[in-house]
Structure 1
Amino acid sequence: GLKKLITTSYNKSPIAGRQLPLFEMEGLKPIKPKNAEAHRIEINKVPDLNKDGAIGLEDVKQLLEHDANVSAPLKDNGDFRSEECIKLLKEADIVVTNPPFSLFREYVTQLVEHKKKFLIMGNQNAITYKEIFKLIKENKMWLGQSLNGKNILFQIPDYYESYYKIIDGKKYAFPKGVVWFTNFDVPKRSEELVLYKKYDKKEYPKFDNYDAINIDRTEQIPMDYTGVMGVPITFLHKYNPDQFEIVGLGNSRDNFTPNKNYQNPYKILRDGTKQNGNAINCVLAIESKIKPDGIYYISDNSKYLIAPYARILIRNKKII
């Protein structure tokens, strides 16, 4: 079981103190929206105080009044980079949280530097960050339990005005693309992805600037292709490191090396507007003989070019 549970909030947190009356127990000033002070709670003992067979908010309220447990304001602002919070981090074996997505790279870097086991929420697109992808490629971090296509709901303050729904009279946000990131082993990482399709060069176009084929959906991965394949980032929900090798990521020269350089490239928008297209020299590209309907690129040494959203480059270990 858990020996200790430590949790913190930060200055002006919009949710701190909304479910637990912290100020009543500590003599703190009443917590107002956008004006909450940084706080820490340490739970050292967790008996079922109200004898209902479960641990709920009523138990937690009583727990905070227990001599073995602590509820107190932080001296600093609650930022995870502060000395006070880093000291608390050093006490921990496991970190479970929903970190600020804008600081996701920095937060994960801190966890790795302190060699912590973790289970954290993040945007699925964080997979494409150079620092995050490096950890995934090296099997130091991966996706946790899948939500099976469902969005995570977050209870939010009443004054939030966008991306919300009302459930039982409470307001919830539902940001899309939120997934679990972890370095805990999960059963699905040992499950082999069942492949049923056979390779057909007419069905799987090759990239024009890298020796690999493009695959639009994970279930379309051919069972008999021995080369490198570019798959969507959602492939990681099915990734088994014993079945596949991650070779690179086709969205930056930091993660793969193109074998062709496009000269004088331009990006053509849907309305026909022409923009600088140098980005095509840093991503995977598929050449098309027919003018695409959406956004595409042109250059002096190619026909029409399409840049699919970030592709993870993989190889099937089972048929090498």
Structure 2
Amino acid sequence: MANRNLNSARWGANDEYYTVWASVEREMNTYLEYDPDVFRGKVILLPCDDPEWSNFTKFFALHFTDFGLKKLISTSYAPNSNAGAAFYTPTLFETEDPGYDEDKSLERGRVFTLTPEDVSGDGRVDIDDLKWAYLDGDGDFRSAEVTALRNEADMVITNPPFSLFRAFVDWLMAGGVEFSVIGSSNAITYREIFPLIRENCLWKGATGNSSDMVFGIPKGAPVKAADRAKAERLGYPSDGHQDYTRLGNSCWFTNIEHGRRHEPLQLMSLADNLKFSRHEGVRGKGYTRYDNFDAIEIPFVDAIPADYDGVMGVPISFLDKHNPEQYELIGMSAYGQVPAEVKIAYKEGHHRPYVNDVAKYQRVLIRKKD
């Protein structure tokens, strides 16, 4: 994914994932727990979200009234613009609508809108009141027409194409919107993403961190047997509409507040870690310094010494629990994102942390706040 031309890329087979209802509900509920009015009066855009498949659209349509939404907009990609075209057939939802156009069906994206208007006349506002039309283009989020919808929106919530994640976040930041999106956990190391985390412009979501997330995939799409089996164990057997898989490295990225990111890590002192740490590499041995960074190596998040004032290199999973009031983010070892004042001359072209000439995993460099 890192080497793709983001200006011309289209979805690949690894982008055709449909977020399950439970994942959407769990994450959105954490925002509501922190602020019950977080969605009230808001225009929410769900790009990449055809309501026939998207649980994002179904979720917000179901809760349109009780969340107090002003407007819900959902756009979908044209089938011919992504790998899903191989599995696509128009549904009755589209073909029985007077607006159906066989020539446009594969080449145009679609836009769906939901407002407080009770279109169906059943006394409530829900997914039956969605209005839809073909877009002029293929639904690419970078197009002028979808960007105009972003500019109308207060929030953008979706599961964007993983291969276009950098470009998608750049598009979100340019729009100045609130957002909650799914991406690869590895994205925290990207030179385009970590600076935003460091500057508190985005952070990890409240759920799905360091755990398996289940996704639907088009019926008949290739899926590893082990991933299919894991999805089944998590309660998602293949059905007549789609298959399921799991990804262990997916998570939410957001700039919407949730209370869990303000919970301080409960940590032992340096002295207590030396005596009582459950990790043999720390207990009775202490901490080593890097060869190339002016910082100490912390191999486990729960081994961070609460009273250490210097710079520490911690696992990237630390960001799952990062409290911005407790620790300052100094840098990221990946892609050379380490401040000059922390670097120690070592080897040219080596950005990973080294201890006694042995490379370690990528680390986030942090320092305790006063």
**Structure 1: how far apart are the matches of 2:287 and 2:112?**
54
Residues 1:308 and 2:369 aligned together: no
Q: Is the 8 A contact 1:250 1:256 kept in 2?
A: no
Shift of 1:131: 1.3
- Deviations 1:179-233, CA, capped at 9 Å, x for gaps: 1100111101211110024255833111011111111211111122111100111
Q: Which moved more, 1:83-92 or 1:139-148?
A: 139-148
SS in 2 for 1:130: coil
Greater percentage in strand? 1
1:231-246 aligned within 5 A: 231-246=314-329
| Alignment CA distance shift 1:40-1:217 (3 Å) | same
Shift of 1:31: 9.9
TM-score normalised to structure 2 length: 0.67
Shift of 1:81: 0.6
**Structure 2: how far apart are the matches of 1:149 and 1:109?**
24
SS in 1 for 2:218: coil
Aligned positions, number: 273
Match of 1:222 among 305, 312, 319: 305
Aligned to 1:44: 115
Shift of 1:146: 2.4
| Alignment CA distance shift 1:77-1:228 (3 Å) | same
User: Counterpart of 2:266 in structure 1: which amino acid?
Assistant: V
**Structure 1: how far apart are the matches of 2:339 and 2:176?**
28
- State percent identity of aligned pairs: 37
SS in 2 for 1:219: helix
Match of 1:91 among 152, 163, 179: 152
Aligned to 1:107: 168
| CA RMSD, Structure 1 to Structure 2 (Å) | 2.7
Greater percentage in helix? 2
User: Counterpart of 1:307 in structure 2: which amino acid?
Assistant: A
SS in 2 for 1:179: strand
**Structure 1: how far apart are the matches of 2:208 and 2:161?**
20
Residues 1:140 and 2:201 aligned together: yes
Residues 1:63 and 2:134 aligned together: no
Moved over 4 A (4+): 15-20, 46-53
User: Counterpart of 1:193 in structure 2: which amino acid?
Assistant: L
**Structure 2: how far apart are the matches of 1:308 and 1:237?**
20
Shift of 1:256: 3.4
Aligned to 2:181: 120
**Structure 1: how far apart are the matches of 2:158 and 2:78?**
17
Residues 1:251 and 2:334 aligned together: yes
| Alignment CA distance shift 1:108-1:3 (3 Å) | same
TM-score normalised to structure 1 length: 0.77
**Structure 1: how far apart are the matches of 2:101 and 2:301?**
53
Structure possessing the higher relative contact order (Cα contacts under 8 Å, 6 or more residues apart): 2
Residues 1:286 and 2:335 aligned together: no
Match of 2:141 among 58, 80, 88: 80
**Structure 1: how far apart are the matches of 2:360 and 2:329?**
18
SS in 2 for 1:174: strand
Residues 1:6 and 2:58 aligned together: no
SS in 2 for 1:88: helix
SS in 1 for 2:96: helix
User: Counterpart of 1:285 in structure 2: which amino acid?
Assistant: Y
SS in 1 for 2:145: helix
Shift of 1:17: 7.7
Q: Is the 8 A contact 1:16 1:36 kept in 2?
A: no
Aligned to 2:245: 173
**Unpaired runs of at least 5, structure 1:** 65-69, 263-277, 288-304
